Amino acid sequence: MKLSERGAIRSAIADGGFGLYPAGRLMDSIKAGLSGDDLRGDFDPSATAEKVLRAQGPGEPQARAVFEQDISLLVERLRTMNPEYDIDSVFDRMQAEAPALAKRYYGIASFDAPRPRVLEYFFEGINDMYKDGDWFAFNVNRAESAEMNVPIGTYFKRDQVSPGQPEFVAMHEVNHAMQDIAASPDGFHHYVPWFDEGLADSFGRMMLFRVTKDESLIAKVKRFRTEVEADDPRKAAYHYADQIASMMLIRGRLPFVKALMRARKRDPFSIDWSGLGDRIMAGIDPHVALINAYRGSKPEQFSKKFEREETAFRKESDLDAIDLRVLAMFLASERPACLSASEYRAALWLADEIARKPNPHRVVIDREKKDEEGSEITLGPILKSASIVTDEALKKDHSLEARIAIRDADVPEEHKAGVAELAAKYMITKRIVGEELVYQPYGGGLPYRLGTGEIRCTY
Ligand SMILES: [Zn+2]
């Protein structure tokens, strides 16, 4: 199938490596320069790249520099991206693997995965109600199928398709079909967002990784969540859900979750689902949280039956080390520290200075010697004489210590304010060496903060 422009751009963003956070907001800047073009048309590598280059970035020079860096990374990726995307092989794989996955994770003996369909509009010609819906995908379950007169199954919207995402979304949606069998009470639609969406996310990822063993794909799935969908108010509703469901799976394990699905199918109103999710999120053991969330009149009977069923499920398969790793990976999704453009650019400048070899900012101090005021004495002063103290001498004499200390006088005018702010935020340390004001980037661990992506640029 043909990719849309927005689908291609989102995929390029989800490959990571951008300075701005969340990088998904670049989409708005690009659209702002296109007077009404919302990028739903077909993707063409060079034409779309040209459009992206017209994006209206911020006017302030520091912010503009980060923005331009990100735009050029985006353009570079778009120019080599294939406009055709083979979504059928994604659906083939999901359908082929679904029966074994349904057995392993839900204990469903025989499962037939419906094949997802790609539509230009949701339910065009079937039901106008959803025609304007702009979701990536939509799953119609048994109850909804009867209500809306739409066939059961998963529907993708073509101009929303973004390579890397259907791989996961097909797994997420097929989990709803599995839950429909394992956890839905008969006769009505009982929807608990944290439980239904959270488990569809958690199981969906575990299943995707089990099937593909593709590390970069699963990392990309995470970036869709943390970079592309981070600002989408509808998708934001899923983030909390997947944290609760992951914590429930990690601490309660699969037999507990299966027994809980069984209990829900039997009597969904005997459990306070909000209270249960809230307690699990607070860190309480899921077993204890469940006892506290029981609202029926026979707590003893409920507990005994639950325990019996959980014990029986222990004879089936549980999560393994691979599953737990995928779950833990998605729990680690804190926002990075977002610095202003001038701070971020100053951090990039410092990182470049630190990387210079031989390094002009290297200074050696003697920890045992202090001057009359108690300040450290510099042996190998900044710049020219740094070579006076060799690495061999440093290894031999443990009172000597080499540091990177960048003189305030060496900081270019455009980065002076940013560097001072980084020091005020303890990203770097500021001190007096000899007579000079210097900044020590390793003091606040700045190079390591940049390297992990925990520092990004706000916009
Ligand atoms: Zn869902």
Q: 39-54 burial, b if ≥16 CB within 10 A, otherwise e?
A: beeebbbeebbebbee
User: 282 C-alpha vs ligand 1 centroid, how far in Å?
Assistant: 24
Q: At 308, is the pLDDT very low, low, confident or very high (cuts 50, 70, 90)?
A: very high
Residue 432 Cα to ligand 1 middle (Å): 57
pLDDT at 442 over 80: yes
The rounded Å distance from CA 14 to ligand 1 centre is 20
User: What single-letter amino acid sits at 31?
Assistant: K
- Ligand 1 centre distance from Cα of residue 174 (Å): 9
pLDDT tier at 383, thresholds 50, 70, 90: very low
Distances (CA, A) of 445 to 261, 354, 408, 437, 442: 46, 12, 18, 19, 4
Average pLDDT over residues 31-45: 92
CA 200–ligand 1 middle distance (angstroms) = 6
pLDDT band at 34 (very low <50, low <70, confident <90, very high): confident
Contact between residue 85 and residue 161 where contact means Cβ atoms under 8 Å apart: yes
Q: Cα(133) to centroid of ligand 1, in Å? A: 15
CA of residue 355 to ligand 1 center, whole Å: 46
Q: How far does the centroid of ligand 1 lie from the alpha carbon of residue 172, in Å?
A: 6
**Dist. CA 253 → ligand 1 center (Å):** 21
Confidence of residue 188 (pLDDT cuts 50, 70, 90): confident
pLDDT at 385: 47
In this predicted structure, what is the pLDDT of residue 444?
A: 87
CB 364 within 8 A of CB 392: no
Distance 173 CA to ligand 1 centre (A): 6
CA of 5 to the centre of ligand 1 (A): 24
How close is the Cα of 31 to the center of ligand 1, in Å? 28
| pLDDT for 381 beyond 60 | no
Q: How far is the CA of 167 from the centre of ligand 1 (A)?
A: 14
Say what the pTM is: 0.84
Compute, in angstroms, the gap from residue 201 CA to the centroid of ligand 1: 8
134 Cα to the center of ligand 1, angstroms? 14
Strands 337-339 and 455-457: parallel
The mean pLDDT value for 90-118 works out to: 95
Give residue 171 CA to ligand 1 midpoint distance, Å.
10
Query: Ligand 1: distance of its center to the CA of 41 in Å?
Result: 26
Cα of 197 vs centre of ligand 1, distance in Å, is: 5
Find the 144 Cα to ligand 1 centroid distance in Å. 13
pLDDT of residue 386: 46
**Distance (Å, whole) CA 161 – CA 183:** 29
- For 244-271, the pLDDT digits (tens) are 999 999 999 999 999 999 999 999 999 9
Domain ranges of the chain: 5-79, 87-331, 337-457
How much distance in Å is there from the Cα of 95 to the middle of ligand 1? 18
The predicted-structure confidence for 194-238, as pLDDT tens digits, reads as follows 999 999 999 999 999 999 999 999 999 999 999 998 877 666 667
Q: Give residue-wise pLDDT tens across range 339-363.
A: 999 999 999 999 999 999 888 888 8
Neighbouring residues of the ion ligand 1, judged by CB less than 5 Å? 197, 200
The alpha carbon torsion through 68, 70, 76, 81 (nearest 10 deg) reads -140
Ligand 1: distance of its center to the CA of 199 in Å?
A: 9
Percent of the chain surpassing pLDDT 70: 91
3-state secondary structure of 431: strand
Ligand 1 centroid distance, CA of 139 (Å): 7
Ligand 1 center from residue 207 Cα (angstroms) = 15
Average pLDDT, the chain: 89
Angle at 397 between CA 392 and CA 398, to 5 degrees: 120
Helix (H) or strand (E) holding 140: strand 137-140
Give me ligand 1 centre to Cα 458, in Å: 30
Task: Compute, in angstroms, the gap from residue 276 CA to the centroid of ligand 1.
Answer: 20
